[in-house]
Structure 1
Amino acid sequence: MFENLRTADIELVPPAFAQAPSAARIREIILSGFKALEHGKRFTGKPGTLIFEADGEIVKIHAAVEMAEIQARQRAEFNARHESELGIYHPSKAWFVVKTGNRCWMGNVMQVLQPLHMLMVPSELARALDLLDQYFSIYIGFMKNQERVLDPGLSNFAVDEEGRVFYLDDDIYGWDGFSSLTQTIGVWFRQLTDFPEEFFGSLGTIVGKWLSVYYPDSEWADIVSEQVRGVFVANADQSLRQERFLRALADVKYGKQAAEDAPPALYAVPQDAQQYISAGQGKVAILADIHSNLPALECALAELDRRAISRVLILGDLVGYGPHPSACIELLRSRDFAIIRGNHDHAAAVGKAAGGFSAGARWVIDWTVQRLSKAERQWLGSLPLYLDGDGWLAVHGAPQDRTFMNGYVYRMTYEDNLQNLKDRDIQYCFHGHTHVAGVYYDKGKLNGHSVADHFALENVDRSLICPGSIGQPRGGKVGLEFAVLDTGSFEIDFLNLDYDPSSVIEEMNREGFPGQLSSRLLIGK
């Protein structure tokens, strides 16, 4: 292709900045300065990309993408216009079309910038953190404003002579719920071995700052934290970097406590929670969707005490819908249970219900927020978004949902969620959110749904298990629902217990709750 480029027609497309190089200058750069692509070096890029550099200017040609002239011109003009609007690219960048005979390609030209990955030097820590502060501002701000993502690799960002950071990659990608960014942070834990631990704490502070700017009062800071907690670390040093990052990220959310101040009473996961679903651990109770129904919760816990079951896994939504949020929180705080956060818990913690809540649910969240103390809301907000162990996962929503608490497992989604478990080598997923007890499962090429009172999990390959709801069942049965798993046989029993909901309904009516919420307690759906 080089010989073709010597005689090719080159045409800049609008809008190009006033000092954009001429077609003759672009050809001169092409003829004098081919640069080989090398991973981790100064010039990186996708296969099929040609890079040329001369006298402080760089030309990039997408040689692997050949197209018709009109298509190339339209694409190049769109890229130039769109990139100008986004404001994340250096203002010197201009697009052009290269044509030789019937063959046509797109390319762009701009000033040479310093790639960010070449500037991560431990001896210049302050500069590295300043550049990463700009990097996270660009990345997180772009996600918020465009609902798409950039390639988070540091080689895709660069710095100009004024110390400003810009995005380099010509491509933009679909929304991924921060997974690319958190995996990249995990790579830094493993690769930036010469940086001190406090550097990673500073990174956590920076990420927390920009999340609070662009996603205030949302679950995304917690989702990022949970995703970073789940990245692979290979040794103790990498684990310490991860811990420093997560601690600093949490400090942004909760605020650093002065030495004389009492720290917030945050939730602590039981030390043996990861072993709850391990073989031979006895019986484990699975509860979900308590929804501020104190009589139902007290009845369920009395039954567990009668059965001498002390290991309890609660799948979120302690509050919402019902009239006893503080009493339920205090009762659960008095027990050493493994608890995760549901969407209603999160809404109460941040003080508002986001999209996806019905009008009645939003009304109860507003009512609940006014009645919870700051400490109770902080405690709800400190509940983890998921728990897991060897071969098992517990979420409020659905395993394929990146927010952990908003997706549903039901007949239209269960196959995709079972495939998600297969892809992640997870055998059991315990979830709430639907308020309907049962098991979706697959075995070989077959899958199905069981609503039986007893199910042998060992007889299937993978399973999605919902224990029903303590406070507001929707499967057609009145009362309260939960499940008990025997980790010796991996058989699970789904229980339905009677209790008297009259006091709950009376209080809901007295407080002016939407009528459909109390009527559900009488019909079980």
Structure 2
Amino acid sequence: MKLALFSDIHANLPALEAVLADIDRRSPDGIYCLGDLVGYNIWPNEVINIIRSRGIPCIAGNYDYGIGRGSDDCGCAYREEAEKAMGKQSIAYTNQAVGDAERAYLRTLPTRIRLEFELDNTPEQLWQQQPPFTLMLAHGSPRKVNEYLFADRSDQSLGRMLEAAGADMLYIGHTHKPYHKVIETTVADQPSYTRHVINIGSVGKPKDGDPRAGYVLLTIEEGARPGLARPGSADDVRVEFVRVAYDVERAARAIEDSVLPNSYADMLRQAR
């Protein structure tokens, strides 16, 4: 089983087109989007309609949640007054640009998707309710759509969150900075139960210094078992961070030719 997961497109049509072309070339068994389709660029409707037309399961990002309800609050954690002022321009522009049908679609998006895999089990094992291998897909965290889970969050805190969510692997976006953390927790009589937190980065607005669009390719082998997967090995679960070059200048110039702040164009070029 091979799954492609991406997030945080933020109305960047050239980046989305490049990522989907790369995903199509790899022919995964499933594709999932972790939200924030809109904001910060000029193509919110085009991005929404590509996701809809392809039937890609998608959850709501904080920006989607706000724009879907016509709010002037995207749930973004702007730290400085200049950022807040720029953010208001982006929210106002997006609210004006998004069509009625596209806004209605944003309101239908769930805040989480839970995937459970019963792999390599006999019927008898299934009937005995053997634990499934569970993936939780969220935008910010399982608790809040706009909660930031940065890589420096403590293992203890993440472990509690994973256990509360009942997830072996948690896939998130929102920070625009990809990482993979392995969390060792204790469950019942298993002293070392391995869980994973994977931030899949951003398609349309990376902030890790690499301007290329990013997504994750997840491979789950038939013998995958809860608590056993290790990253970066030939084990039963593999996580690959994929970067895709796209026409950054086209996306940056589109911002500069609009009423959006030019700083957003510089952020695309510098991936900050």
Unaligned runs of 5+ in 2: 79-83, 117-133, 187-191, 222-235
Runs of 4+ in 1 over 6 A off after TM superposition: none
1:377 to 81, 97, 103: 103
Q: Tell whether 2:137 aligns with 1:431.
A: no
Contact 1:398 1:417 in 2 (8 A): no
Q: In the alignment, what sits opposite 1:387?
A: 113
Q: In the alignment, what sits opposite 2:219?
A: 486
How far, CA to CA, are the matches of 1:414 and 1:315 in structure 2? 23
How far, CA to CA, are the matches of 1:412 and 1:490 in structure 2? 23
Offset, 1:413: 3.3
Contact 1:397 1:433 in 2 (8 A): yes
How far, CA to CA, are the matches of 1:299 and 1:311 in structure 2? 17
* Structure 1 letter corresponding to 2:136: L
Q: In the alignment, what sits opposite 1:476?
A: 209
Which string of whole-angstrom CA distances, capped at 9 and with x for unpartnered residues, describes residues 284-312 of structure 1? 00100000000000001111111112511
Q: Tell whether 2:47 aligns with 1:300.
A: no
Q: Tell whether 2:133 aligns with 1:407.
A: no
Please list, as runs of the form range in 1=range in 2, the aligned pairs for 1:149-160 lying within 5 A after superposition.
none
Which string of whole-angstrom CA distances, capped at 9 and with x for unpartnered residues, describes residues 214-251 of structure 1? xxxxxxxxxxxxxxxxxxxxxxxxxxxxxxxxxxxxxx
Which string of whole-angstrom CA distances, capped at 9 and with x for unpartnered residues, describes residues 188-208 of structure 1? xxxxxxxxxxxxxxxxxxxxx
Which string of whole-angstrom CA distances, capped at 9 and with x for unpartnered residues, describes residues 50-98 of structure 1? xxxxxxxxxxxxxxxxxxxxxxxxxxxxxxxxxxxxxxxxxxxxxxxxx
Offset, 1:444: 4.8
How far, CA to CA, are the matches of 1:424 and 1:484 in structure 2? 22
Which string of whole-angstrom CA distances, capped at 9 and with x for unpartnered residues, describes residues 351-404 of structure 1? 1232545332231121011111111101011111111133221110012x3xx3
Change beyond 3 A, Cα 1:510–1:361: same
2:90 to 354, 359, 364: 364
Bigger proportion of residues as helix: 1
2:243 to 496, 509, 514: 496
How far, CA to CA, are the matches of 1:478 and 1:504 in structure 2? 11
Taking CA–CA contacts closer than 8 Å with sequence separation of 6 or more, which of the two structures ends up with the larger relative contact order? 2
Q: In the alignment, what sits opposite 2:64?
A: 345
* Structure 2 letter corresponding to 1:425: G
Contact 1:414 1:440 in 2 (8 A): no
* Structure 1 letter corresponding to 2:237: F
Offset, 1:414: 4.5
Change beyond 3 A, Cα 1:423–1:310: closer
How far, CA to CA, are the matches of 2:55 and 2:26 in structure 1? 17
Offset, 1:424: 3.8
Contact 1:351 1:366 in 2 (8 A): no
Q: Tell whether 2:50 aligns with 1:315.
A: no
Offset, 1:460: 7.0
Offset, 1:407: 0.3
User: So what's the TM-score if we normalise by structure 2?
Assistant: 0.79
Aligned length: 228
Which string of whole-angstrom CA distances, capped at 9 and with x for unpartnered residues, describes residues 33-52 of structure 1? xxxxxxxxxxxxxxxxxxxx
Unaligned runs of 5+ in 1: 1-281, 446-458
Please list, as runs of the form range in 1=range in 2, the aligned pairs for 1:47-66 lying within 5 A after superposition.
none
Q: In the alignment, what sits opposite 2:54?
A: 335
Please list, as runs of the form range in 1=range in 2, the aligned pairs for 1:412-423 lying within 5 A after superposition.
412-415=152-155, 416-423=157-164
* Structure 2 letter corresponding to 1:398: S
Q: Tell whether 2:232 aligns with 1:506.
A: no
How far, CA to CA, are the matches of 1:418 and 1:363 in structure 2? 38
Contact 1:418 1:464 in 2 (8 A): no
Offset, 1:441: 2.1
Q: Tell whether 2:247 aligns with 1:519.
A: no
Q: In the alignment, what sits opposite 2:184?
A: 443
Contact 1:320 1:361 in 2 (8 A): no
How far, CA to CA, are the matches of 2:29 and 2:205 in structure 1? 23
Contact 2:211 2:248 in 1 (8 A): no
How far, CA to CA, are the matches of 2:52 and 2:18 in structure 1? 17
Contact 1:352 1:366 in 2 (8 A): no
Q: In the alignment, what sits opposite 1:449?
A: none
Which string of whole-angstrom CA distances, capped at 9 and with x for unpartnered residues, describes residues 135-158 of structure 1? xxxxxxxxxxxxxxxxxxxxxxxx
